[in-house]
A and B are shown apart, each in its own frame.
Chain A
Amino acid sequence: DTGVSQDPRHKITKRGQNVTFRCDPISEHNRLYWYRQTLGQGPEFLTYFQNEAQLEKSRLLSDRFSAERPKGSFSTLEIQRTEQGDSAMYLCASSQRNFNYGYTFGSGTRLTVV
């Protein structure tokens, strides 16, 4: 087990294009979270899954954003019709079900929309 993996590490895209990011959590973790972090700020919650069920979405997650976690394993985050304001670091984290466990974060995907 090598921790939480995210791919790609960096993505540069033109405004209006669609992008998809992938996250592979720690295998025994059934909870998976997506966060967004802009420069100089702390990460902000986007959405979370327990197994394959998406249980909560933040108001930050507009209609252009969609996340999936088929079969409760890896997850994808898609942004459609990207805008310059979508430029940020997208972080994935996983944890075990017990509330007392901490989160393990991946290295993030840095998105730049030009």
Chain B
Amino acid sequence: KQEVTQIPAALSVPEGENLVLNCSFTDSAIYNLQWFRQDPGKGLTSLLLIQSSQREQTSGRLNASLDKSSGRSTLYIAASQPGDSATYLCAVKTGANNLFFGTGTRLTVIP
């Protein structure tokens, strides 16, 4: 069974810092990997989707990379802002019907 691990579990940074969130997965046979943001008590907002054939995707201050062979992905956030405070989840798609999630990294950006 696919297992997804996210490190660190929690992270606090001062406003303006660049930061990296890590995601690793055990089975490299994936279709794609998706990064989500979740605010407390809310649903998931998709940030970036990387296909298995891609190496990275960018959206604004966010950049996600994928190294499928080593089972790793990173989410880079540039010039962090207090509004970036949330839990970030990565998920890998391995078939028609399932998306395996990590337990998330809880990010706090301190003004």
Main secondary structure of the interface of B (DSSP, over half): strand
Residues of B within 8 A of A104 (CB): 46
Q: Does B76 contact A (CB under 8 A)?
A: no
Contact of B43 among A40, A55, A106 (CB under 8 A): A106
Q: Mark B36-58, 1 if CB is under 8 A from A, else 0.
A: 10000111111001010000000
Main secondary structure of the interface of A (DSSP, over half): strand
Point out residues on B near A: beta carbons under 8 Å: 4, 31-32, 34, 36, 41-46, 49, 51, 89, 91, 93, 95-99, 101-104
5 further A-B contacts with Cβ under 8 Å, apart from A42-B104, A43-B44, are A6-B43, A99-B96, A103-B34, A105-B36, A105-B46
Q: Mark A42-79, 1 if CB is under 8 A from B, else 0.
A: 11110010100001100000000000000000000000
User: How far is A103 from B41 in the complex, measured between Cα atoms in Å?
Assistant: 19
Q: Does A91 contact B (CB under 8 A)?
A: yes
Chain B min CB distance to A66 (Å): 18
Point out residues on A near B: beta carbons under 8 Å: 6, 33, 40-45, 48, 50, 55-56, 89, 91, 93, 99-100, 102-108, 110
